[in-house]
Each structure stands twice: as structure tokens, then as C-alpha cells.
Structure 1
Amino acid sequence: MSLQLMQMLSTTIEAKDEYTKGHSHRVAEYSVLIARELGWNEKELSNLKNAAHLHDIGKIAIPDTILNKPSKLSEEEFSIIKEHTIIGANILKNISLIDHVQEIVRNHHERYDGNGYPDGLKGKEIPLHARIVAVADSYDAMSSQRIYRNQLPPEKIIQELENNKGTQFDPEITDIFLKLLREDRIHIKEDHLSITENTQIPEAEIEMSQFISDIMSTIRTQKTKENLDFLTGLPTRNKGEQTIAQLMKRHSGCLVFMDMDNLKTINDIYGHKAGDRVLKLLGNLLLEYSSECLVCRLGGDEFLLFMPNADQNSITEVITAIFKKFNTRKEQDPELHAASISAGLYMCNIGDSFDECYTKADKTLYFVKQNGKSDFSF
């Protein structure tokens, strides 16, 4: 039961990001395929599978904003990501049920050339179990859709494994995996919830499984609330950017960086309640266009919109209508007269980098702000 509960925990961690659903299960299965080619017995294979299931357990302590960031991580953010190996090993330091689990969790990001983390181990200094999981982990990352990129084609994956053999990966283990790939022997059960093949589940375990399920359901409900900005009713920055980045992978369109002008002036003269009212006014207005575009509040006086599958003329009509309605509605509140909105727009193609489009829309907004505000430009 303890083994299965730990595997359930690894599955709940993956629920933090839909793009890693089933990742631990697949890494465990790929690791077993490699180890079987090395001649391991069934007991050793079972132990490896259980340990590999927990290789990312430390990510439970990594903020969702970093795990799910659609653009390139900063150096500081990447240093936080790397901590999951040490955190995971510490979580499992007292676990005696699974041999080699700590070394897998701690060392699966070491590199064969010594340039990995967290310990900078080199070659055979890296535990064998960790070297196996490193190849399996990287393969699943390359062959899966991720928020920051599409899955790689099979020929590209083979090329990456070949290019990194002896530098990132153990060459012997890499050759084994390449052989499995070329012989089309990488076949696993995709049901990541099938933790055990034993159908005689004790009643206590069923109750514990239901308990964990209830907890996760509560967490998901709370997470939904956390993803909405209380004042405007719009998605928060983290959730909004994730959703927009995902949509940009499948659709061309226009990214709009919108800014509230003179919010500080309103706050200084009439107080923050007046500032809140004008932000809420704009938020409610943008919600009216939720069928035509994705919208989120970036924070403060900044908003981000993405209009999929629209040409420049139709986008101009929508933005013009938003500006007109905002100017009409603000006049109903004398304290909001100074408010206006500016926007920078950038036309995106399918697969364009979210980070680059965001930067270009932001620069266009800056151009508008430097040339009189209360306007928009492509």
C-alpha cells in the first residue's frame, strides 16, 4: 500500500501541469525496457520501476508559476527548478521500501561529461539507475507536447540522442535505447493510473485512494478560484499566459498588450477605490469579448488579449469598439474622466514564440504611450 500511495503522490504532482500527465509512468516503463536489455531480473526491474515513478517527486515544492511558464526561464527560475532533485532526495531520505530511489531522484539530471546537477558527477560516478532514468526522462520530454514547444519528430529525437551520447548520456545506455527505437520496440501501456495489476484491492486502500481523490478535487477547486483576479473577474497572469501560449501553438492571430492610462493620477486624486472601479469597468468590458478573444490581467494596470484567426481589419473593429465603449462608460463616473486606454498589437503566426510576440506587442504599446496615449497601433 505504501508503494502505491507514493506512486499516487507522483501522479498528483503531475496534475500541476497537464503537459506532464503520465510522465512519471512513461519514464518508469521506458527505464524498465532499457534495464531488461541489460539482463536485469524481475525483482530488479520492479524496484527500478517503483523508484523511477518518484524521480520528479521534488517538483511538489516548485511554484506552479515556474513549472508552467510558457516562455524561457530566467537564470534564477532555472536555479529553482534544479532544486527539485535535492528536495526530492530529502523527502525520500527515510524511505527503505525502494532500493536506489534516492540516487535516482537526486542524480537523474547529472550529465555523463560532469556538467549536470546537483553534484556534477561524471561518467560511472553517476549511479547506474540514475543514468538509465536520465535517458528515459529525456526521451519522454522530447516526445511529448510541452507548453513551451511541440513534441519533436522521431528522426529529430534520434539525432538528439546520438549527438548527446557520451556528453549528456551514458553511451552504452543510449545505444540500447536507440536500438529499441529503431526496432520499434518502445511500446508501453499508456494508462498512467494503472498503478497495480492486482485487482484484489484491500478495502482500506480503496478508502485511502478515495481520500486522496477528494483532497485533489478540493485542491483543483481552490486552484480554479486562485486563477481568477478577484477585482476584474479575468484570469490571472499565470493562467492567462499559459492559455494564450497554448492557443498560439494552434492558431495565428493578434496579441494585444493593453494598458490603463492615468491610473496613478486617479488613485492620487480620488483614492484607490476609484482606481479599483475603473479597473473593474475595463475588466467587465473585456469579459464581454471573451467569445472573440482570450483575456487576462497581467497585474496593476496591464492586460493581455489574444484574438485567434482574425485579420487586421476585424481586429481593428474590435479594438475600436472596446475603446469607444470604455470612453462612454467612464463618463458615467466623474472621478474616472482622466482614465484612458492604450494598446500595442502584434500579428502572430502559428508556432511563433509567445515570448517574442509578447515583447513586440509591449514595444508597440511603448510607442503608443510615447506618442500621446489613448490610441492603439500594430
Structure 2
Amino acid sequence: HRSEITDLFDKDVRIQIAVLSVCYIALYFATVLYRRICNENAVFNDEVERQKEELFQQAEELEALNGELNRYSEDLLVKNDQLKEMAMQTIMTIANTIDAKDEYTRGHSRRVSEYSAAIAAEMGFSEEELRDIRFTGLLHDIGKIGVPDNVLNKPGRLTSEEYQLMKDHTVTGGEILKDITMIKDLDIGAKYHHEHYDGTGYPEGLRGDEIPLTARIIGVADAYDAMTSNRVYRRHLPQDKVIEELKKGNGTQFDPKACSILLRLIEENRLPGFNPDDESIEVKQATQILTRVIDKAEEAALEDMQLDELTGTLSREHGMKVIQNEIGKHGTGSIFAFDIDNFRRVNEKKGFVTGDRYLSRAAEEIKSLVKDITVCRFGSDEFIAYLPDADSEEDAVRMAEKYIAAIRDISLNDPSYSMLSVSIGITPVSTEKDRIMVLYENASKALFVAKQYGEGSFFYHGLDMSEEDDVAVANSADLRYIVDCINSPDKESLQESFPEAYAVSEAARELMKENGDDIYITLFTLRLKDGDQLNTVSRTELMDILERSIGKHLEKCCVALKYSNLQHVLLIGGLDEGGVRQTINKITADFYRVNTAREVEVHYDTAELAKPLLFEAGKV
């Protein structure tokens, strides 16, 4: 059995040795693997530490950068506030410069801006929207930069052409501002602030909500400031009158909500105040600089067109300024308005070259009237002249007669000037403060009357002529013109140019054939007592009443015709002067019995066609 034991022992030893060998080998590989893992872990830990250090460094850099960004953001906010202030000051400078063109509107744009913002605040506008409407209000009149100063500062009623220039400032303003995007809808306040809620405004006749809200707000604010400020043509209105006008326009001219808010702000005394003297010195200085720049630019432009190239007279704009300055020096004399008769016909029949020769010759004769004379070409066929030494009606009439005689002599003795004829309107200068545009209006009225007297005539518009005198003179001139048409041999031209006068002429000729005796012609004209214009409805109704009144008293040998929208002609035959007077009195008395509009007057003028001299001009 010893051998068996020995074999078992050897077997166990071998097993143990094998196990130990396996363990040793496993331990060896475990040790190698452990060392590798430890090395890799060390490398990983080193990488982690390195990345942590980098992250900490980046965090510090980000923190520093964040601080820089915060400081930069604060600087941006400060710069933004400064830019807003600079923008406001720039816009205020522009607005002040525009207001400075009209000596009576200083601070107007600033007040409109603040009033508009006050109304908008009551409507719930945001701060940004209030800022925008302030900017828009400041620039609402920027288009006036294109309106001539003599129109902006004209003390009297504007002519239709001048009024169109004034209306065009809205379109001009819109065009100037349309490409500016930093302020929302900046151009709409300039373009649409004269639109009316009922559609009767301009430039596009928008109605109600078609008008942008900003423009509706600025429109009522602008109207309020206009009524409460002195203007060149009137003093400011009393507060009760202003409120009355706002209420009258509420819902027609003005947006109902905006107008109602403005009325409430006025009633509660919550409208912001503004004193132009409180502006910063920067704005004041910038305004002065920009005003001087614009004035210099205008002066330079005027220097380029001081003289009319064709006639050698002063150009219109420069000439009116020179004449205004001369009036300021002298304070006496007369303004003459010269107009070449039938100038269009001259161009059509003889050509434009001949027309230019007529203009040059007419201007040459004007300049040679006296040594001390200032002449400017005012229109295509019209000249204005100031004669400081013609300081009485006799002197002015003598100058007019001298000129017309010279023109008549030229047309009679030089066949190339056979159609040359000039009419003249004259008005006196009474003081050195007289405004040239007011004087021009009076001279134009006189020129109109002279034209009715026939080619180559003149008329003197005296200082003592009232508005009623103007109407009476115009009516007499209308009647004289009709009489001249009746006596005119050129019926074909008359029918083409003045069909109404031609119809009266033909009716008069027929009546004279039938009656055989002299006939009388009476011109009836309707007019409001205060000189305003009748509206279309009133005009139609009143003309119907006048027509019926004439029809009720027509005799057998009478003919009545409508001559214009406000005039009727009555041709009377078979009656003496007393009978004609009785017929006219019956007509006017019947008109006043039927008509309830007591502010309307009837003017009439009568002439005997056999001897076309006015024997009566009356007003009932």
C-alpha cells in the first residue's frame, strides 16, 4: 500500500504545483494589468486636472468677458440715450429752422409735438409710440422748407396759386421723410395732417379711419396751436372761440376721439406748456447755424436767377424782395401791374419769337418811363413795377397815360408790333410797412377792371376804395365788357372765347331789331355781405329765386339770361329810364321778400345800349 500512498502524494503535489503555477501566472497578469490601469488612470487624472485648470481659466476669462460685456452694455445704453437726445435736438433744430421761416410761428412745431403726445398718452400709447409721435409732430411742417417766404408771410388772402403752394407742403414733407426708417411712419404726420375726418381735406381727401391715427392726432393739435397763436394775417383767437371752433369741427374736420380728448385736456388745464427760451444752448446755436446755411443757400440760388434772361428785368422772387426793400426805404409811390393784352393770340398768330419781341419791347418801355423805377417779370406776360416818385393819383395816371401812348405809337407805326397792347392796374403805396403781396393784389384788381374797359386801358385802385367799392367796380367792369361785346364786330372770336357774352350780344341784337327803340341792359350780381364765397347749394337756390323774381316782372319786350353762377342779365326794351328803374326795384323787392338769407346782397348795374355809358350802379 506504500506505493499507492506515494502515488497519491505525488499526484497531490503535482496538483498543488499546477494550482500554484496558475495562481502565479494569474497574479503576474493581474499585476501587469493593475500597473497598466494605474498608469492609464494616472494619465487620465493628469488630463482631468489639466482640463479642470483650463475650465477654471476659461471661467475666469468668461467672468472677465462678462464684466466687459456688462460695461459695454452700460456704455451702449448711455450712448443710445445720447443718440436719442442728439436725434431729438437735431429734429428740434430742423423744426425751429422751419418755424423761423414764418416770423409768427416760433415754437409751433414743438407745441404741436407736445400737444400730440399729450393726446396720444390719453389714448394709451406706449412710451416708444409717444417718442415716435413727438418726433413726427416736430417734423410735421418740414415741407414748408419748399414754400417761398413771401407766400408764408403774406398778410392778405392767398391767391389760388399761392394756396396750392401752401397745400403742396404736405406732399413735399412726405417725400422728404419717406425713406427715414429709424422712426416708424415719420412721413405720415407730414403728409396727412391736413386731411379732414369727413374727407374734405388734402392732399388725398382721405376720410375717417383711412387717415392714419398719428396724422389725425397731429391734425387737431396743429389746428389748436394755429388758432391760439398770432399769425401774419390775424391775431390769435380768444379761448372760448377756439373751443367753439374745436367743437364745431369735432367729427367733421377733426377725429372725434382725438378732439374730445384735446377739449378735456383744455378744460382740465392739463395741456403741457412750452417756452422756446427754455431750449438748450446747443439747440439754439444749431438752429442759428442751420438757418444761416439755408438763407445763404437761398441767396446763392437767387443770385443765379436775379434777372429775367429775356427782358433784362428782375426775376419774380428777387424782384419782389427788392421792391419790398425799396418800399421800406421810401414809403410812398405806386405799384403798377402791366399785362400784355391777348398775348396767347400773339403767340398763336405770329409765333413765339414775335411774342418774345413783344415782351422785350414792353419791358423796355416800362424801364424807360422814369429814372427811379424797379421792374420785375411777375408772370409769362405780366410785369410789376414800383415807382416811388408817383406818390399821387395824378402822377400815377400821368405815367400810365404816357406808357399807353408810347405803346400805341409803336403798334401804329411799326407793323411788326401791330398787335402790341398793354393794360395797367395801379395801386398806391401809403407807408414803408406796406407789404408787396397786398399791394400786388390791389394792383391785380385794378388790372382786372382795366381789362374790362378794353385793350390798352388802365385803372387806379385808390386807398379809399372799400370792399364794396371793389365789388361795384368789378360789376361795372363786367357790364362794360358785355356792352363792348355787343358792339364788337368780331362775333366769331367772341362766340369761341366768351359764349355767355356772345349769347347776351345776340339776344340784344334781336331785341333791338324787334323793338326799334333804345334798349337797356341790367346786370344783377349776388354777393355775401362779408365778402365770403357762397357754397354750391346756396348759390343754386339763390339764383333760382333771382330768376323767378326776374321772370315775374318781365315785360313783353324783355329778355333774361343767366350770365354766370352768380349773375343774371336783363335786357329791357320799350320803356324809358323811369320804367326801367321801376322794373328793377320790383325785381329786387320780390327777391328780398322770398329770400331768407339776409346776409346776401343784390348788386345791379344798368346801361343804355344806344349810348353805352353807365348811368346807374346801385346796391339794394
Normalised TM-score (structure 2): 0.43
Q: What SS does the corresponding residue of 2:215 show, helix, strand or coil?
A: helix
Question: What is the percentage of aligned positions where both structures have the same residue?
Answer: 34
> Does the CA contact (< 8 Å) of 1:343 and 1:365 recur in 2?
yes
Match of 1:71 in 2: 158
Equivalent residue runs for 1:12-161 within 5 Å: 12-13=97-98, 22-35=107-120, 45-58=130-143, 71-73=158-160, 78=164, 85=170, 88-89=173-174, 91-116=176-201, 118=204, 120-123=206-209, 126-144=211-229, 149-151=233-235, 153-154=237-238, 155-161=240-246
Tell me what 1:303 maps to: 383
1:376 aligns with 2:462: no
1:277 Cα offset (Å): 5.3
Q: 1:343 aligns with which of 424, 427, 432?
A: 424
Amino acid at match of 1:258: F
For the pair 1:218 / 2:305, whether they are aligned, the reply is: no
Task: Sort the Cα spacing of 1:354 and 1:183 in 2 relative to 1 into closer, same or farther, 3 A.
Answer: farther
Q: Kindly provide the amino acid, as one letter, of the partner of residue 301 in structure 2.
A: Q
Q: Which moved more, 1:160-169 or 1:224-233?
A: 224-233
The letter of the residue matching 2:395 is E
Q: Quick check: 2:227–2:236 contact (8 Å CA) kept in 1? A: yes
Supply the distance in 2 between the matched residues of 1:44 and 1:55 (Cα, whole angstroms).
Answer: 16
Segments of structure 1 that go 5 or more residues without pairing to the other structure are none
- Provide closer, same or farther for how the CA distance between residues 210 and 289 of structure 1 changes in structure 2, counting only shifts above 3 A: closer
Larger RCO (CA under 8 A, 6+ residues apart): 1
Residue 197 of structure 1 pairs with residue 284 of structure 2: no
Answer yes or no: is 1:162 the counterpart of 2:242.
no
Q: Unmatched 5+ residue regions in structure 2?
A: 1-85, 461-620
CA distance in 2, matches of 1:143, 1:101: 26
More helix by share: 2
Give the match for residue 320 of structure 1.
Answer: 398
Q: TM-score, normalised by structure 1?
A: 0.64
Aligned to 2:476: none
| Aligned-pair CA distance for 1:299 | 3.2
* Residues 14 and 45 of structure 1, relative CA distance in 2, 3 Å threshold: same
After TM superposition, give the deviation of residue 99 of structure 1 in Å.
Answer: 3.8
Amino acid in the other structure paired with 1:189: N
Alpha-carbon separation, structure 1, partners of 2:440 and 2:399: 27
Cα deviations across residues 331-354 of structure 1 (Å, max 9, x unaligned)? 9xx989988864244689999988
What is the alpha-carbon root mean square deviation over aligned residues? 5.6
Q: Could you say which residue in structure 1 is the equivalent of 2:536?
A: none
| Contact 1:256 1:345 survives alignment (8 Å) | yes
Structure 1 pair 39–364 and aligned structure 2 pair: CA distance change class (3 A): same
Following superposition, the deviation at residue 274 of structure 1 comes to 8.4
Match of 1:283 in 2: 367
Distance 1:15 1:285, change over 3 A: farther
Q: Which amino acid aligns with 2:280?
A: E
Matched position secondary structure for 2:262: helix
2:95 and 2:110 in contact (8 A); partners too: no
Are residues 363 and 212 of structure 1, via their aligned partners in 2, closer, same or farther at CA, if it must alter by over 3 Å? closer
C-alpha separation between the residues in 1 aligned to 2:449 and 2:220? 43
Q: Compare CA radii of gyration and give the structure with the larger one.
A: 2
The secondary structure found in structure 2 opposite 1:112 is: coil
- Between the aligned partners of 2:342 and 2:251, the Cα distance in structure 1 is 58
Pairwise CA distance, 1:146: 5.5
The residue number in structure 1 matching 2:506 is none
Cα deviations by residue, 1:214-266 (Å, 9 ceiling, x for unpaired) = 3541223423664654545446179749x88xx9xxx9x98753346799799
The answer (yes or no) to whether the contact 1:257–1:365 under 8 Å persists in 2 is no
Q: 1:257 aligns with which of 337, 351, 364?
A: 337
After TM superposition, the structure 1 stretch with the greater mean CA deviation from structure 2, 82-91 or 172-181, is 82-91
Cα separation, partners in 2 of 1:197 and 1:13, compared to 1, 3 Å: closer
Q: How many residues align?
A: 351
- 1:23 Cα shift? 3.7
Deviations 1:51-107 (A, max 9, x none): 211223345567889878853436x974x8666556544543443432452443344
CA distance in structure 2 between the partners assigned to 1:271 and 1:131 by the alignment: 49
Q: Is the 8 A contact 1:71 1:354 kept in 2?
A: no
**Conservation of the 8 A alpha-carbon contact between 1:13 and 1:57:** yes
Within 2, Cα distance between the matches of 1:287 and 1:52?
51
Instruction: Give yes or no for contact 1:55–1:108 (8 Å, CA) kept in 2.
Output: yes
SS of structure 1 residue aligned to 2:217 = helix
* Aligned residue identity for 2:234: N
Letter in 1 for 2:293: D
C-alpha displacement of 1:168: 1.7
